[in-house]
């Protein structure tokens, strides 16, 4: 799996036929557009172009950042649940890659790690 959540990605066309520029990858499946929309990536993107589906604005989302010192434990449990639910290898490998990236972040930036909610949104 060749993706880096901190890298700008390129151009996609949404299922609604609207061109969008990817500003930042979230993971191997989702990205944020320059306009702030969240899209689900569809297909192969090694050539920096592809298709995407807009995530509906009325769909709740949940974000866990690498600086959260509980994130790796949560992701590890989620990966176990995926395995118990017989999710695809692609899904489990994606979660494993995310765990590796979160562990690398914690090792490289111990001063940025924190308890969730500690800053109370400030």
The tens digit of pLDDT for each residue in 52-81 reads: 888 999 999 999 999 999 999 999 999 999
Q: Write the pLDDT tens digit of every residue in 1-48.
A: 344 444 445 666 666 667 778 888 888 788 888 888 898 887 654 444
Residue 84 lies in a domain: yes
Residues of the domain holding 37? 10-54
Beta-bridge partner residues of 74: none
Does some domain include residue 1?
Answer: no
Q: Answer whether residue 66 is part of any domain.
A: no
Q: How far apart are CA 75 and CA 13, in angstroms?
A: 30
In this prediction the pTM is 0.78
Query: Any long-range contacts for 95-104 (C-beta under 8 Å, 24+ apart)?
Result: 97/1, 97/3, 97/28, 98/27, 99/72, 99/75, 101/5, 101/66, 102/66, 102/71, 102/72, 102/75, 103/72
Domain total in the chain: 2
Domain assignment present for 41: yes
Are 86 and 73 within 8 A, CB to CB? no
């Amino acid at each position: 799996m060749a993706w880096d959540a901190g890298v700008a990605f390129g151009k996609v066309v949404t299922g609604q036929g609207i061109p969008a520029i990817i500003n930042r990858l979230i993971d191997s499946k989702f990205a944020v557009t320059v306009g702030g929309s969240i899209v689900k990536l569809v297909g192969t993107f090694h050539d920096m172009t592809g298709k995407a589906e807009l995530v509906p604005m009325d769909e709740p989302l949940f974000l866990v950042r690498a600086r959260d010192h509980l994130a790796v434990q949560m992701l590890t449990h989620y990966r176990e649940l995926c395995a118990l639910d017989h999710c695809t290898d692609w899904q489990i490998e994606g979660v494993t890659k995310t765990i590796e990236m979160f562990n690398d972040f914690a090792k490289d930036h111990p001063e940025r790690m924190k308890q969730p909610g500690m800053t109370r949104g400030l």
